[in-house]
Amino acid sequence: MRKLLFSLVFFVMIGSLFAQQDAQFSYYMNNHLYYNPAWAGVENITKITLLHRSQWAWYQSTFDDGGAPTTQVFSLSTPIYKLKSGFGTHIVHDQLGPQNNLEMQGSFAYHLGVKDSKVSVGLRTGFFSQSIQWDYLRAIDPDDPVLSGKSGKESQIRPDMAGGIFFVHEDYYGGVSFNHILKSSFDFGLNDVRNALANHMFITGGYYYDISTMARLHSSALMQTDFKQYNVTLGLILTMMQRGQEQFWGGLTVRQSEDIGALLGYNFLKDKSLKVGYSFGYVFKDRIAKEPTSHEFILMYELPGIGPVNKKIQHTPRFRH
């Protein structure tokens, strides 16, 4: 595990190649299902997550181009005890100026217990829709044949698939996944256009360290690549405990290709099942073409655990088993 984290840090130190791949989040450590289908049901609780990100908030160009990027995610993860597995589903809406991406995915994962740890192997399948608002595009050549006669909004839907593996221990975790395996393409009826979804690989890892009975550190890392360029995000979160349960947290994330973010969150309700978090991101790269701030909100709700007969659900800050 330490070798995995060292490798991720190494990418930050030497990475001169980077780019935005799929949608990026400061709260990546609370959004595992989006990156890896093997996360489905791993926590042994039913969890619903809502996330909204506004990147380069209040960005405006000299003409209407669709505005700054915004992303919304809905996800649900639940265990299937009788099958030693889990199910997950997520919906993502990603607005990137004139381009709009919408995906609806279902994930299934098989869980294998290994001593005091868990290995999960998952597969995901679903649909990926891409839309283009042609009126937002501005051609350098007014007679560009690609844009000739194009106006309004046009959409196409294609199948999508992903696979991954996840290892979870009480003190650390790590996972690898591959997205867009089918390399579905979107041509919008143009012979010269083949806008294919590139294969992506995600490597994630994290470690928990108990400072005391009242405080815990969570270090994490995420590397994502399309096998041509790389992007690494590192995070460190301090969680304060109350009577053995998480109460509130604060931390930092650093994304090599873009910004540094401050994270804050609080757990509500008597059983701490409702979690609300906010992230403020400050852009430090290529600021001339961007607005300097990004904002992210996350809402997580854990449904009461319903496990096998005579099996007690043990509550921990990481996962339940």
Q: What share of the chain in percent tops pLDDT 90?
A: 56
Using DSSP, state whether 314 is helix, strand or coil.
Answer: coil
pLDDT of residue 4: 37
Closest CA to 1 of 169, 238, 120: 169
- Which residues is 120 bridged to in the sheet? 111, 166
CATH fourth-level superfamily of 2-302? monomeric porin ompg (2.40.160.40)
Contact between 170 and 316 under an 8 Å Cβ cutoff? The reply is: yes
Domain ranges of the chain: 2-302
What Å distances lie between residue 10 and 5, 34, 156, 236, 254, CA to CA?
9, 24, 39, 17, 14
Checking if the pLDDT of 140 tops 90, the result is: no
Report in angstroms the alpha-carbon separations of 103 from 1, 87, 149, 296: 32, 17, 28, 20
Whether residue 315 is predicted with pLDDT greater than 70 in this model: the reply is no
Summarize pLDDT for 51-72 with one digit per residue, the tens. 999 987 776 665 566 678 899 9
- Residue 304 DSSP class: P
Read off the pLDDT of residues 274-310 as tens digits, 9 standing for 90 and up.
999 999 999 887 666 667 889 999 999 999 755 554 3
* Predicted structure pTM score: 0.83
Average pLDDT, the chain: 83
Per-residue model confidence (pLDDT) at position 205: 97
Least confident of 52-61, 239-248, 308-317: 308-317
DSSP state of 4: H
